[in-house]
A and B are shown apart, each in its own frame.
Chain A
Amino acid sequence: MRTTDSMTNILAITKREFFGYFGSAVAYVFIVIFLMLLGFFTFYISNFFEMGQADLQGFFQWHPWIFLFLIPAVAMRLWAEERRMGTIELILTFPITVWEAILGKFLAAWAFIGIALALTFPLVITAAYLGNPDLGAIFCSYVGSFLMAGAFLSVGIMTSSFTRSQVVSFIIAIVICLFFILAGFPPVIKALSGWSPAWLVDLVSYLSFLTHFMSIERGVLDLRDIVYYVSVIAFMLFINGVVIQNRRTA
């Protein structure tokens, strides 16, 4: 009984938030920018046609960097807008738990990003048409990219709960996400390993979104990587809940 109630509550929130994206031009602008940026990097910087790679590495390697800017933009309104308009006072006095509200919002934004990601599919078809890509590896990379997007998003929704300003939320989210990327960025790892002990280097790179994404990209969907992303998401959403419950004002 409780769980079906929970599900329907979450679903109600998800539906509202999800159609909220499409109710304004923001959704279309976001999708267009996402596809254009990805296209630009893939075709002009990575030289997609000349690479002849079977796993679309020249396409997926850009995802973390594009997510870094676009996902905080998708997430920033989730709580900040609610606080600014005072509607948080209604949503938090409805007979639903804070966790249902958070999950509902998170899932809506995640589904939205999932759609943007799915719209890159013509690229796979092109690759399959031109060559002989490893479809298994591509599938894994999509799953990895979607999981990583969830991790970015969980940071964004958390920072959105800190403030009533979307801009502030956006900036804090980018800073935190940048840390999660750079911790696994090869040049940073190299610089770090010059002076710090190996366990610290391992720990830092373990914390990075990038490390786990690269490992999934190789075509192995390791349970450990999935657990990593799910834990990051759970942790960020937990902080989100604590912040919302301990807020003194709207």
Chain B
Amino acid sequence: MIEIRNLAKKFGTKTAVDDVSFKVEKGEILGFLGPNAAGKSTTMRMITGFIPPTSGTAVIGGHDILTESIPARRKIGYLPENAPVYPDMTVFDYLAFCAEIRGFRGGKRSRAVEETLEKCFLTDVKRQTINTLSKGFRQRVCFAQAILHDPEYLILDEPTDGLDPNQKHEVRLMIKEMAARKAIILSTHILDEMDAVCTRAIIISRGRIVADDAPANLKTRSNLHGAVSLTLQGGDPEAFVAKAARIDGVASAKILEKEDDAAKVRIFPKAPDAALLNTILVALSESDCRASDVFVEQGRLDEVFRRITS
């Protein structure tokens, strides 16, 4: 378990992280979300022992990062922001160096390196100097370094930054596969990624936690949650909207856009889970419009994100 206790960091008079506390258990994938400069990287740097906190601490698998730094760091795999690696080493030499630092010797060392190369699809470039690799491959080399020693705790700062869609998918799969045995904290700006990968999301803004919930629950906070969107063809959409707005349980209904024959309409319920769809469909069949598309909104993370953090 990773336990973050009242972590705070001040740079001069500026507070980058302000009293952040949470726990991550094994099996969890915690998505760390927030606008630029929210303090995500700073928090991760404190958890991994790179910079000392102004106050508070992080306890990694029972070891305090401040007082038992080395045993704590042994249990962590860390992918820093921008994936720093030594440019003038070959991929193999670099990973061999990391393995040695992690205490692998002799045959064990080469085995750990080879396995990791394979897992991260780096076998083909293992003799290549890192500065001749593309950005995505460099990112993968750094990711490989983080999982090389099969750590119990993974801290990944924007792990899919700079990867192509296929690689993003591979990395997400890998993270999900590893999750059962590990506690993982990852930061990201991609909301779909968080939705697809994370079991829990923490949103921070200006250094403070503003939301801590499962992604599905976060979505229900959206204004859109439960709204019904329709695309109508022909007829008189204005009449339909006026009628829909009078239905019991509907808060409002409006035309989003209108083009030639087609109109996009959205109907918002008063309470998110009122089962409105049926009544709306009845109203629809009584009107002279034909629907080409009906959709009940789940809620949008980006909308929730914007509302919480601005």
Contact = CB atoms under 8 A, between A and B. Distances in A.
Contacts of A248: 11, 51
B45 interface: yes
Contacts of B87: 85
Contacts, number: 65
B74 to A, nearest CB: 4
A92 B50 CA distance: 6
A95 B97 contact: no
Chain B CB count within 10 A is highest, among A5, A92, A93, A96, for: A93
B54 to A, nearest CB: 11
Interface string B90-119: 000000011011110100000000000000
A136 interface: no
Contacts of B142: 90
Contact of A97 (B48, B70, B71, B98): B70
A93 B73 contact: yes
Contact of B102 (A20, A23, A92, A95): A95
B44 to A, nearest CB: 10
B78 A16 contact: no
Interface residues of A, number: 23
Contacts of A95: 70-71, 73-74, 101-103
Nearest to A23: B88
Contacts of A135: none
B237 interface: no
Interface size grouping (class) on chain B: 20 to 34
B11 A89 contact: no
Interface string B27-59: 000000000000000000100111100000000
Contact of B84 (A16, A20, A87, A97): A87
B88 A90 contact: no
Contacts of B49: 92-93
Nearest to B70: A95
B148 to A, nearest CB: 11
Chain A CB count within 10 A is highest, among B82, B97, B100, B101, for: B101
B294 to A, nearest CB: 50
B45 A20 contact: no
Contacts of B80: 86, 89-90, 93
A24 B84 contact: no
A9 interface: yes
B85 interface: yes
Given A89-B50, A248-B51, A96 B101 contact: yes
A94 interface: yes
Contacts of A94: 73, 98, 101-102
A193 interface: no
Contacts of B89: 16, 20, 23
Contacts of A93: 48-50, 73, 76, 78, 80
A12 interface: yes
Nearest to B100: A12
A8 interface: yes
B145 interface: yes
Interface of B: 11, 45, 48-51, 70-71, 73-74, 76, 78, 80, 82, 84-89, 97-98, 100-103, 105, 142, 145
Given A24-B88, A90-B84, 12 more contacts: A87-B84, A87-B86, A88-B84, A89-B45, A89-B84, A90-B80, A92-B49, A93-B73, A93-B78, A94-B101, A95-B70, A248-B51
9 contacts: A13-B101, A20-B88, A86-B80, A87-B84, A87-B85, A89-B50, A93-B76, A93-B80, A95-B101
